[in-house]
Amino acid sequence: MSLCFAKPLPPSGWLGDFHPQAIERASGLRGVKLVISDAHEGLKAAIRRVFGATWQRCRVHWMRNALSYVARAQQSIVAAALRQAFIQPDRAQASQTLRHVADQLRQKWPKLAGFIDDSETDVLSYLDFPEQHRTKLHSTNPLERLNKEVKRRADVVGIFPNEAAIIRLIGAVLLEQNDEWQLLHRYMQVEAMAELAAPASEGEPRQIPCAA
């Protein structure tokens, strides 16, 4: 993990800021297979330019976006229908299920159906990877939990006197998490990761489309 300071960025700003961070602060990071994030356009463009890797749209964010097209009283029903796609054994069946759900919902919620049509490929990218990895590749939940812990520790302090104080506290949190992922509760086993490092026979990874 890497820690640095950055100002809030507009959509176009990610390319200017994220690129040097990826090259300089994360030096040595090679062979990236998959990047998981929300659908921020600038972030998607930066991922495409810097890593050239397959992009997975966070499934949690995707579901939240999808349900925003539906009245609250009916969200649980729609969510249950959408989740049927995510329990399918492979990408082909998941895609077929998602398209079927979109067609069923199209008359009542045309905007939701259009959203599903446009984002189907992005939200199912993780299904191209080995089955044992999929539960850990479809969302940014681990990062969200880490962000919450960082915020919790920072809220205790309230106001930091300088950047060095921020680095000491937040850096300690990140080091703790890094040690836990590497030694205590390894997020993905080394043996399983070897499958991802094997040469791909299906061709080049899918590139992120320029427009959502």
CB 188 within 8 A of CB 136: yes
Residue range 20-66, pLDDT digits in tens:
554 445 445 667 788 888 887 777 777 777 777 788 999 999 999 99
**Alpha-carbon span 43 to 37, nearest angstrom:** 8
> Which of 202, 199, 196, 145 lies closest to 173, judged by CA?
145
User: For position 129, what pLDDT does the model report?
Assistant: 84
The domain locations on the chain are 15-57, 59-130, 140-199
The amino acid sitting at 188 is M
Is residue 89's pLDDT more than 70?
yes
Give the model's confidence band at 203: pLDDT under 50 very low, under 70 low, under 90 confident, else very high. very low
pLDDT at residue 184, as a whole number:
66
Q: What is the pLDDT of residue 201?
A: 46
- Predicted confidence at residue 6, as pLDDT, reads 62
109-166 tens-digit pLDDT: 999 999 999 999 999 998 988 888 888 888 888 788 888 888 898 888 888 888 888 8
Instruction: Give dist(CA 143, CA 148) in Å, integer.
Output: 9
pTM beyond 0.85:
no
**Closest to 44 (Cα-Cα) out of 106, 117, 125:** 125
Residue-level pLDDT at 51: 75
- DSSP letters for the chain: ----------TTHHHHHHHHIIIIITTT-----EEEE---HHHHHHHHHHT--EEEE-HHHHHHHHHTTS-GGGHHHHHHHHHHHHTSSSHHHHHHHHHHHHHHHTTT-HHHHHHHHHHHHHHTGGGGS-GGGGGGTS--HHHHHHHHHHHHHHHHH-S-SSHHHHHHHHHHHHHHHHHIIIIIS-SS-HHHHHHHHSPPSS-SPPPPPS--
pLDDT, residue 78, reads 95
Query: How does residue 195 score in pLDDT terms, banded at 50, 70 and 90?
Result: low
